[in-house]
Amino acid sequence: MLSRVASSLYWLARNFERAETVARVLDFACLRSADFGGASPHDATTLRLLTIVGPKPPEGTFARREEALAYGIFSTENPSSIVSTIAIARANALGVRAQLSTEIWESTNRLWLYLSASSPGSVLREGPSHFLQRVRDACQAFAGISDATLAHDDVWDFIQAGRFSERADLTARMLAAAHGFDAPWPCWQQLLNLCCASEPFARLVPRLPSPVDVLEFLTFSPQFPRSIRFCIGEIDAALHRISGTAAGSYGNDAEKESGRLRARFDYTRVSEVLDAGTQVFAERTVASLAALSEALERAYFPRVPVG
């Protein structure tokens, strides 16, 4: 596979994953401000939520909910806005159109056309929640369509690597930011909602839950597809399928990083996380994932010229 193609597939998936999370976070922020009657000036939580999924917005940007929405959805200065991420995703899809199924391309293009036809005004008229739901549906459709219509060869493997790299990173960032979510909702319930995890959590952890259970679930659950451990397992598996190297060994730095991370998450107890401090642990995880991402880039799509 062309290095450029591998890179595009990887970033295509990462940006879709990010757009989905941004849509979820914004929806969450909207619902929260509805709780406060829509008037929570300079809402600190909205601000912190947006910071999880992207760069810190400029000081004093959001006097009103509409401004926060416009920034999170439409700002071209915000590389994590929905429009920015989907524009990147579409440009990547366009560059590798020949490798993608028609269904993937068309659903990507439809989402992009829908966003191009939207504006802050139209979002308010349509209802932000409805709009954000459509974006989330389209992003989830990307995940489903790519699973169902692509051959599960290295095209799909690079998509998997991108998707789970972004997901692991976002979950780790949520954990890092989680320590201070304010009342009245218990912090852990918010965190579960933000991670799309409340229902699976309720089903898989059937006793009266404690905050430590949430931490353990989001970090170590082998079944929940957004837990950091689950994501790292998928990245590691995809990388080994791509190279053909046997599981448990490594052929390049990316596999070495993913193997180490996998071992760390397979063989760590939640009490050890608490000992280290949740935030320290989460931040270290974010750094390790960044190192893995860089190693993957060096192994498969180096920017340096061939010498």
CB of 300 to another protein, least distance (A): 5
Whole-angstrom CA distances from 19 to 13, 75, 111, 305 are 10, 13, 11, 32
Contact at 8 Å (CB) between 187 and 174?
no
Contact at 8 Å (CB) between 25 and 177?
no
CB of 100 to another protein, least distance (A): 9
Report which of 219, 173, 198 is spatially closest to residue 53, judged by C-alpha positions. Answer: 173
Nearer to another protein, 105 or 217 (CB): 105
CB of 22 to another protein, least distance (A): 24
Report which of 228, 113, 245, 224 is spatially closest to residue 164, judged by C-alpha positions. Answer: 228
Q: How far apart are CA 130 and CA 134, in angstroms?
A: 6
Q: How far apart are CA 139 and CA 34, in angstroms?
A: 25
CB of 87 to another protein, least distance (A): 12
Name the site residues for another protein (rule: CB under 8 A).
1-4, 6, 91, 94-95, 97-98, 102, 105-106, 109-110, 113, 154, 242, 300-301, 305-306
Nearer to another protein, 41 or 305 (CB): 305
Tokens of 226: 């957004």
Contact at 8 Å (CB) between 215 and 270?
yes
Nearer to another protein, 214 or 299 (CB): 299
Nearer to another protein, 207 or 303 (CB): 303
Nearer to another protein, 159 or 170 (CB): 159
CB of 83 to another protein, least distance (A): 15
CB of 139 to another protein, least distance (A): 18
Nearer to another protein, 113 or 290 (CB): 113
CA contacts within 13 A on the Cβ side of 139: 28
| Cis, peptide link before residue 184, omega less than 30° from 0 | yes
Contact at 8 Å (CB) between 228 and 261?
no
CB of 162 to another protein, least distance (A): 14
Nearer to another protein, 203 or 303 (CB): 303
Nearby residues of 73 by Cβ (< 8 Å), 6 or more positions away: 26, 81, 82, 83, 118, 120, 123, 131
Nearer to another protein, 27 or 154 (CB): 154
Q: How far apart are CA 235 and CA 158, in angstroms?
A: 9
CB of 93 to another protein, least distance (A): 10
